[in-house]
């Protein structure tokens, strides 16, 4: 009997698999079979009771009017596979189709010639075998055979002609609409994420308005990222909903979803990179480095759009030439982001350690833990997906795990991104304490970034206090509030600084002579706030 085939599987690109979310892609739910095909299509199907307000599901075969000859059709649920065929030897060998050889071996009778061999009629099963004669002279319209789905399961179809030729289209109709069963869970997933991101955006907007005077540049970037993500999830949901209702792709929604997806990825990498480089925490400006970050992000966006579009349009075929061409530079850009982010985060944490900025260091350590967690999850699911691809051709594996395939390929990436993004939002949320410590506590060796005459000095997307007429008197008071468990520590540190300030006023000459070698002395947080 022919072995099941679930279609072409695209090559596994490791770097791309880790760096971008699954592009909108639809598995084919209509397949064409001819007398020369040596595979048996199988797909998971949901019953009517499994979907609220669902319609009657079925599998249909539509033979073209040009088909002719005797044809036998077979429908069954995979759990009944062992009930098919007839054992012809002590080794357990089976014959599944009745031909002259099967008749000689007494696996079937002459009456069954040209038909699949099934179980006895008294044995209840999901197996349905239908035989009929196709005649193009008497049939001017397609011949249709339907098989109703009795229960949720993994179903297979096989067609064989003992004589003549045929061409038929296999159509899998689920109770929810036109989507394949593998893709249907994405519909509620994207709908739920769109609503959740919208609610998060509203809460972020309220915090931004409430603490408008305290907003930092990086928080403005996060605000833009929330808007992009919400739009992306909304249009992606619309894309899947349109296909489920009409059975065809909306090119407009597809292109829009691809652009928003690439924009989300590029902006996410950009925000994470400038945060790891210490923007607004260690430095008020990144100088010329900011331009390099922007160029890298734009490059990632361009190749991300090209790759996602080509992958979506070729979702049912092996990787095309344009997919291969665009995947290589995209993987290179991702690697650059990856190395730069890790290097920047390591350097920023080391700077905070050297300057004994414990509160700021705690925030970056939480960020480090968050990134390590995401990396571990990615590697874990990468290994799981390698195993899944390896065993996917095994019909027993596919029949038992078809309902979780969508999560392995697409769902977990969206969930992981949501967890990491919310974690970063909590660390960098707008609060009344963003100015608790001034940036001048951290003397910098980057003269270009701190020089008042530098053109990059006035990066003021939300950084309004950098535009003062007298830069030398301007205080860099931008700092973030960290997680609540560090609040007591910072209050204690503020009290210690105030005590040191009082002692210095009483004994102005008690400053050690070598203190100048340690850089600019940090001012207490309350003094910085008063000057602002």
Q: Give 10-residue mean pLDDT values along the chain (532 residues).
A: 38 38 50 81 88 88 86 89 83 83 83 83 76 78 86 90 85 87 88 94 90 81 91 92 86 87 88 84 78 87 80 54 69 83 85 80 85 86 78 74 80 88 86 56 43 40 37 37 44 49 46 40 40 33
The residues, any chain, with a CB within 8 Å of residue 480's CB and separated by 6 or more, are: 216, 280, 281, 360, 363, 427, 428, 431, 434
Last residue of a domain, one of 117, 140, 173: 173
Last residue of a domain, one of 364, 381, 416: 364
pLDDT for 314 equals 57
Q: What angle do CA 335, 338, 343 make, to 5 degrees?
A: 125
CB contact at 8 A, 236 and 261: yes
Are residues 353 and 228 part of one domain?
yes
Instruction: Give dist(CA 159, CA 36) in Å, integer.
Output: 10
**Residues of 175-185 as b/e, b for ≥16 C-beta within 10 angstroms?**
bbbbbbbbbbb
Q: What angle do CA 217, 221, 222 make, to 5 degrees?
A: 115
3-class state of residue 283 by DSSP: strand
**Considering the domain boundaries, does residue 377 fall inside one?**
no
Are residues 312 and 167 part of one domain?
no
Last residue of a domain, one of 116, 147, 173: 173
Q: How does strand 167-173 pair with strand 30-34?
A: antiparallel
Beta bridge partners of 4: 40
**Considering the domain boundaries, does residue 306 fall inside one?**
yes
The residues, any chain, with a CB within 8 Å of residue 530's CB and separated by 6 or more, are: none
CB contact at 8 A, 341 and 273: yes
pLDDT for 495 equals 52
**Considering the domain boundaries, does residue 70 fall inside one?**
yes
Beta bridge partners of 216: none
| CB atoms closer than 10 angstroms to residue 270 | 21
Instruction: Give dist(CA 164, CA 133) in Å, integer.
Output: 10
pLDDT for 155 equals 92
DSSP 289-349: HHHHHHHHHHHHHHHHHHHHHHHHHTTTSS--HHHHHHHHHHHHHHHHHHHHHHHHHHHHH
The residues, any chain, with a CB within 8 Å of residue 434's CB and separated by 6 or more, are: 211, 214, 215, 216, 478, 479, 480, 481
| CB atoms closer than 10 angstroms to residue 439 | 21
pLDDT for 157 equals 92
**Considering the domain boundaries, does residue 464 fall inside one?**
yes
Q: Can you give the residue range of the structural domain that contains 128? A: 4-173
Phi, psi of 29 (to 5 degrees): -110, 0
CA end-to-end distance (rounded Å), the chain:
81
Beta bridge partners of 130: 73
Are residues 55 and 24 part of one domain?
yes
Interhelix angle 412-427/251-276, nearest 10 degrees? 40
Instruction: Give dist(CA 508, CA 504) in Å, integer.
Output: 5
CB contact at 8 A, 276 and 348: yes
Q: How does strand 4-5 pair with strand 40-45?
A: parallel
Are residues 193 and 62 part of one domain?
no
Are residues 330 and 245 part of one domain?
yes
Are residues 31 and 82 part of one domain?
yes
CB contact at 8 A, 131 and 70: yes
Are residues 144 and 244 part of one domain?
no
Instruction: Describe the chain by its helix, strand, coil percentages, rounded to 5.
Output: 55, 15, 35
Instruction: Give dist(CA 520, CA 253) in Å, integer.
Output: 55
Are residues 131 and 40 part of one domain?
yes
Total count of residues recorded for the chain: 532
Number of domains in the chain: 3
Instruction: Give dist(CA 149, CA 56) in Å, integer.
Output: 8
What radius of gyration, in Å, describes the C-alpha atoms of the chain?
A: 32
- Single pTM value for the model: 0.70
Instruction: Give dist(CA 224, CA 202) in Å, integer.
Output: 13
Are residues 461 and 337 part of one domain?
no
Are residues 150 and 46 part of one domain?
yes
The residues, any chain, with a CB within 8 Å of residue 201's CB and separated by 6 or more, are: 226, 227, 230
**Considering the domain boundaries, does residue 380 fall inside one?**
no
**Considering the domain boundaries, does residue 161 fall inside one?**
yes
| CB atoms closer than 10 angstroms to residue 87 | 11
Are residues 458 and 314 part of one domain?
no
pLDDT for 109 equals 83
Instruction: Give dist(CA 285, CA 217) in Å, integer.
Output: 10
pLDDT for 7 equals 35
pLDDT for 234 equals 93
pLDDT for 227 equals 93
**Considering the domain boundaries, does residue 22 fall inside one?**
yes
Are residues 114 and 28 part of one domain?
yes
CA within 13 Å, CB half, 318: 2
Cα 135 to the chain's mean position, in Å? 50
Find, among 149, 121, 141, the residue nearest to 58 by Cα: 149
**Considering the domain boundaries, does residue 391 fall inside one?**
no
């Amino acid at each position: 009997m022919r072995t099941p085939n679930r279609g072409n599987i695209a090559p596994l690109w490791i770097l791309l698999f880790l760096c971008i979310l699954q592009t909108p892609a639809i598995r084919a739910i209509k397949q064409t079979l001819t007398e020369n095909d040596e595979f048996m299509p199988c797909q998971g199907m949901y019953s009517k009771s499994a979907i609220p307000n669902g319609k009657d599901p079925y599998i249909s075969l539509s033979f073209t009017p040009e088909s002719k000859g005797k044809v036998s059709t077979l429908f069954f649920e995979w759990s009944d596979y062992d009930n098919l065929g007839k054992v012809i030897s002590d080794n357990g060998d089976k014959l599944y189709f009745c031909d002259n050889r099967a008749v000689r071996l007494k696996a079937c009778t002459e009456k069954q010639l040209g038909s699949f061999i099934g179980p006895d009629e008294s044995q209840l099963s999901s197996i349905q075998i239908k035989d009929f004669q196709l005649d193009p002279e008497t049939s001017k319209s397609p011949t249709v055979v339907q098989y109703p789905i009795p229960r949720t399961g993994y179903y297979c179809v096989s067609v064989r002609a003992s004589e003549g030729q045929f061409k038929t289209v296999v159509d899998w109709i689920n109770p929810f609409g036109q989507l394949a069963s593998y893709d249907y869970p994405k519909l509620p997933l994207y709908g739920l994420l769109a609503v959740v991101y919208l609610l998060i955006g509203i809460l972020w907007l309220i915090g931004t308005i409430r603490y408008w005077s305290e907003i930092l540049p990086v928080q403005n970037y996060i605000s833009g990222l929330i808007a992009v993500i919400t739009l992306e999830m909304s249009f992606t949901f619309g894309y899947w909903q349109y296909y489920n209702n009409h059975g065809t792709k909306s090119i407009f929604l597809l292109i829009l979803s691809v652009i928003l997806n690439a924009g989300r990825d590029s902006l996410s990498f950009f925000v994470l990179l400038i945060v790891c480089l210490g923007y607004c925490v260690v430095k008020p400006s990144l100088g010329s480095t900011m331009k390099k970050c922007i160029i890298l992000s734009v490059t990632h966006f361009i190749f991300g759009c090209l790759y996602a579009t080509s992958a979506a349009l070729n979702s049912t075929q092996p990787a095309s030439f344009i997919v291969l061409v665009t995947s290589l530079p995209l993987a290179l850009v991702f690697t650059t982001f990856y190395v730069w982010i890790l290097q920047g985060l390591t350097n920023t944490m080391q700077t905070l350690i050297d300057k004994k900025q414990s509160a700021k260091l705690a925030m970056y350590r939480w960020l480090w833990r968050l990134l390590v967690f995401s990396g571990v999850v990615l590697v874990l699911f990468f290994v799981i997906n390698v195993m899944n691809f390896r065993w996917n051709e095994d019909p027993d594996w596919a029949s038992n795990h078809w309902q979780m395939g969508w999560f392995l390929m697409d769902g977990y990436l969206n969930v992981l991104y949501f967890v990491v993004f919310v974690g970063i939002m909590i660390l960098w949320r707008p609060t009344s304490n963003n100015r608790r410590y001034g940036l001048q506590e951290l003397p910098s060796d980057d003269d270009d970034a701190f020089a008042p005459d530098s053109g990059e000095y006035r990066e003021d997307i939300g950084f309004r206090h950098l535009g003062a007429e007298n830069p030398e008197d301007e205080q860099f008071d931008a700092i973030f509030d960290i997680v609540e468990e560090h609040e007591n520590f910072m209050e204690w540190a503020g009290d210690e600084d105030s005590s040191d300030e009082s002692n210095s006023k009483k004994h102005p000459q008690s400053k050690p002579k070598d203190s100048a070698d340690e850089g600019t002395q940090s001012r207490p947080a309350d003094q910085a706030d008063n000057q602002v």
